[in-house]
Amino acid sequence: MITYTPLWETMKEKQITTYHLIYKCGFSSTINKLKHNKGISTATINDLCNVLQCSVAYIMEHTPDDVPFRSK
């Protein structure tokens, strides 16, 4: 599972609010997806990294799912 817990910590550290991301950077539809750990595009991840001046590890993290992966 991909979670965006590091994003909220990074934003707090850099004193960047969700208001700033929505109204100054145009991430309005993305914030709800981030809050609910929904999928976002790699382009959006890139944009967040540029705005926050950080690497991907400061935006998202992976935790293994409980169900083992099955190939199709």
* φ and ψ at residue 33, rounded to 5 degrees: -65, -40
Q: Tell me, what's the pLDDT at 69? A: 67
Confirm whether 35 is domain-assigned: yes
Q: What is the C-alpha separation between 58 and 30, in angstroms, rounded?
A: 17
Confirm whether 70 is domain-assigned: no
pTM of the model: 0.85
Q: Tell me, what's the pLDDT at 12? A: 97
Per the structure, the count of domains in the chain is 1
Confirm whether 67 is domain-assigned: no
Q: What is the C-alpha separation between 46 and 66, in angstroms, rounded?
A: 28
Q: Tell me, what's the pLDDT at 65? A: 82
Confirm whether 69 is domain-assigned: no
Q: What is the C-alpha separation between 54 and 29, in angstroms, rounded?
A: 21
Q: What is the pLDDT of residues 6-52, one digit of tens each?
A: 999 999 999 999 999 999 999 998 999 999 999 999 999 999 999 99
Confirm whether 42 is domain-assigned: yes
Q: Tell me, what's the pLDDT at 66? A: 80
Q: What is the C-alpha separation between 61 and 32, in angstroms, rounded?
A: 17
Q: Tell me, what's the pLDDT at 15? A: 97
